[in-house]
A and B are shown apart, each in its own frame.
Chain A
Amino acid sequence: MASLTPQVSTQVTTQVTPGTVPARGGGRPRRPRVWRGVVLLLAAVYFLVPLIASFVFTVKAPGRGFSLDAYGQIFSAEGFGGSLLLSLGLGLATIALVLLLTLPAVVAVRLGAPRLRPVLEVVCTLPLVVPPITFVAGISTVLRWGPDYLASTPFYQTIIALQNPGFPVVLVLAYVVLALPFAYRSLDAGLGAIDVRTLTEAARNLGASWPHVLLRVIIPNMRSAMASASFLTLALVLGEFTIARLLSFETFPNWIYRISGSQAQVSVAVSVFSLLITWLLLLALSSAGARQRSGS
């Protein structure tokens, strides 16, 4: 349809103003293509030059020409493995918790409690309005209260445990809040694409219990939505800097930031590397979506 339209409109122009067409010499149909070419060219320059330049920066050793040393040094750099593992662990824990919380809520709102939908919408939109840095300002104030007011209560131990540097649970909690909007949207969209009510009623009539319905009927039908929620969450956690830095935990982005002072080339190499990881994650995401579409 879209590809036919330009021809149609050219014809119309010819009929309406027959006298002017020869004078323009067919310039009118071609003009849109010129601006389109200019726009696309400028965009290509703007978006590709930094990527190419970053790569050149990492492989151009002063006085030695081409070398991939910087990429080799990533893996041997101090703190690389630890911070990457920490970020991946936080990512997995966040995915598990966000799915565990959001999925039952989304199903419940669709099936049994539609009046809760506005509440859920608000709860899952607020984290988008509130900038992460203000969120962490609140969190760090709460955590500072620990020693000040709660020293003699059991809450104090909880607050200490939340900030265990080996695995800071407080970051998982904060990241779940940040991931809620994305998880909610993709799960809600995934649920909208299947006929939940019929599926659930059929399963219930056949004697399935509610947990059974959720685990064996709804979840298998939502695989692609859950995958997309998980990928978005993982990308978010792997790139999150603000909260981890202000609570002083060395996650992967914080490690990149720390080494940039002493090893500029390595830090740019990791940046290029992390862009590639995001790219792969999103490609996996879109191909999973495409498979789902062709399957249904």
Chain B
Amino acid sequence: MRDSRTRSKGRWAAAPLLVFAVIVFGVPMLVLLGGTFTKEGTLSTANLTESLQGAYLTALVGSVKISALVAVLGGVLGTFLAQAVVTSRFRALREAVLTASGVLANFGGVPLAFAWIATLGNSGVVTTTLGLGQHGWNLYNFWGLTLVYLYFSIPLQVLTVVPALDGLRPQWREAAQNNGASTWQFWRYVGIPVLTPALLGGVVLLFGGAFSAYATAQAMVGSTVPLVTLKIADALTGNVLIGHENVALALSLDMIVVAGLVMAVYLPLQRRSARWLR
């Protein structure tokens, strides 16, 4: 198996995928990078500077804020839900929640926005039934969007942490209790440290999901909530001054840098988790 002929054949079989990735993924990314640093045909950082000022900066900060909030809230709530399911004695409940999580974690985009508009929008069923409109209820703002983003984030966190919670061995808990540890002490010194990488991994995924979400925000709030994805789409569809088209590319680069930084925090942690949870 290890002769050189097989090896060269092996490389050859992986080549189409790598060539494809370089052309279809690499070229647009290179163009993105090139366009960011080009203004009217000359090399410049003007686009990048502009993308970090005024309304563009507000949008970028707005995106980071909502993503961080969704990631933390979704991470905590999802973990509690996962723990409730894992410790439950009903096998069917566990199966049902996991299947539902699989579906709901994929329930993003336009349909999600419409489901929530039908529920809590201005003429939504719950809004009109409970008369929330008179109490100043409004779904089309920062908090409304957070509520909607949590709808696919919590299930995603459940899917991420259930395997880790399953890996938390009952013997550890029993050992801690035999040594006189309280429930709080067990979680503080055993549970949380072992789970931290998985929890943070989930939080990073949630951040990424909320950060790059465009369809839901576009269908729900249009441009009332400043988000970087909406600004990029605006700029790409020609909604900018002539000569400023490349700001969309600069904003995209900003996004990639933020997403990359968040991922970079997560990768070293993930290596640590493998030690305990197998």
Contacts and interface: CB of A to CB of B under 8 A. Distances in A.
Contacts of B132: none
A2 B212 contact: no
Given A12-B178, A43-B81, A241-B110, A142 B13 contact: no
B187 interface: no
A135 B100 contact: no
Interface residues of B, number: 84
Most buried by B among A3, A105, A138, A197: A138
Interface string A248-266: 0000010011001000000
A5 B170 contact: yes
A36 interface: yes
A138 B31 contact: yes
A119 interface: yes
A253 B32 CA distance: 26
* Residue in B150, B214, B256 with the greatest tally of chain A CB atoms within 10 Å: B214
Contacts, number: 258
Query: Interface on chain A toward B: helix, strand, loop, or mixed SS?
Result: helix
A8 B20 contact: no
B241 interface: no
Given A141-B249, A201-B1, A112 B114 contact: no
B140 interface: no
Interface in B218-267: 218-219, 229, 232-233, 236-237, 248-249, 252-253, 255-256, 259-260, 263
A271 B115 contact: yes
A96 to B, nearest CB: 13
A53 interface: yes
Given A111-B10, A134-B232, A54 B173 contact: no
Interface string A102-144: 1011011101110010011001001111111111111111100
Contacts of B155: 47
Given A116-B11, A132-B212, A239-B106, A141 B126 contact: no
Contacts of B37: none
Given A50-B151, A108-B10, A133 B252 contact: yes
Given A137-B236, A176-B24, A275-B115, 13 more contacts: A9-B173, A36-B87, A49-B126, A53-B119, A102-B17, A123-B21, A137-B32, A141-B28, A141-B31, A142-B31, A176-B20, A257-B218, A282-B106
9 contacts: A43-B154, A108-B9, A126-B25, A128-B208, A134-B252, A137-B232, A142-B28, A283-B99, A286-B99
